[in-house]
Amino acid sequence: MLDRRFSLDELEDAPGTLSDRVYRHLADRLMSGRFAPGDKLSLRAVAEALGVSMMPVRAAVSRLSAESALDVSPKRAVLVPLMGAAQFRDLTRVRIAIEGAAVAFACDGADAAARREIARRERAFRLLSRSRRPDLAEAVEANQAFHFALYRAAGSPELLAIIERLWLRAGPVINLDLRENPERLKLGEAVRFHAAARAAVETGDAEAGRAAVAADIAGAARFILSKGRLPE
């Protein structure tokens, strides 16, 4: 199912070629969980929604397919890939190692502006979790925004690029966690781990930062696997 919340203004403001901008637009939606595993994308609908021709959309989809973020069938159908439990466990292990390293770097070198952004994103997610009827799609996006505030604070474009590629594949599965399971948000585990990661950056405690992000990723993974939605 195609997410209809595209913004032409947002596309026009993005840097790079038109195909780069379409790529970035679709990548952001994959990372923030606006697409779920098995969703089908219509290239024509994407082109029409963004007000562009088919050519930059095809180029963007080709890049995302090369990164295993989208599947293109011989009949040209474009799908968000399904993921098995074993593959998800492996992805989770890699995320814990790589994203933990990024948070450790952030603890060692985040500047005042980065710390303020982390605090702002942490507070936004916390307030959403306390809402009587939280917008779960917004919660997924707020979770992603907090994590990437942490990772940008590491000051490593190379490491950030690796994490983005991991989230291209993880984002749609994370969608199964918060967006479809409001009880997960109410449990408050993610809120506690986010607060711990924020505190670790503020105090410069790299090991505490690693531990907080590892617990957050692992907790979400356990919850998703417990639902039995990913085939073995």
With CA atoms as reference, report the closest residue to 209 among 122, 126, 120: 122
pLDDT band of 15, cuts 50, 70, 90: low
Domain boundaries, the chain: 8-79, 85-226
According to CATH, the topology of domain 85-226 is Four Helix Bundle (Hemerythrin (Met), subunit A) (1.20.120)
pTM summary value: 0.86
Query: What span, in angstroms and rounded, lies between the C-alpha atoms of 7 and 225?
Result: 33
pLDDT band of 131, cuts 50, 70, 90: confident
pLDDT at 73: 82
71-72 and 40-41 as β-strands: parallel, antiparallel, unpaired? unpaired
Whether 64 has a pLDDT exceeding 90, the answer reads: yes
- What dotted CATH number matches 8-79? 1.10.10.10
The CB density around residue 16, as the number of other CB atoms within 10 Å, is: 10
Same topology between domain 8-79 and domain 85-226? no
Backbone conformation region of residue 38, classed left if phi is above 0, alpha if psi is from -120 to 50, else beta: left
Query: What span, in angstroms and rounded, lies between the C-alpha atoms of 97 and 214?
Result: 8
Measure CA of the first residue to CA of the last residue in the chain; give whole Å.
24
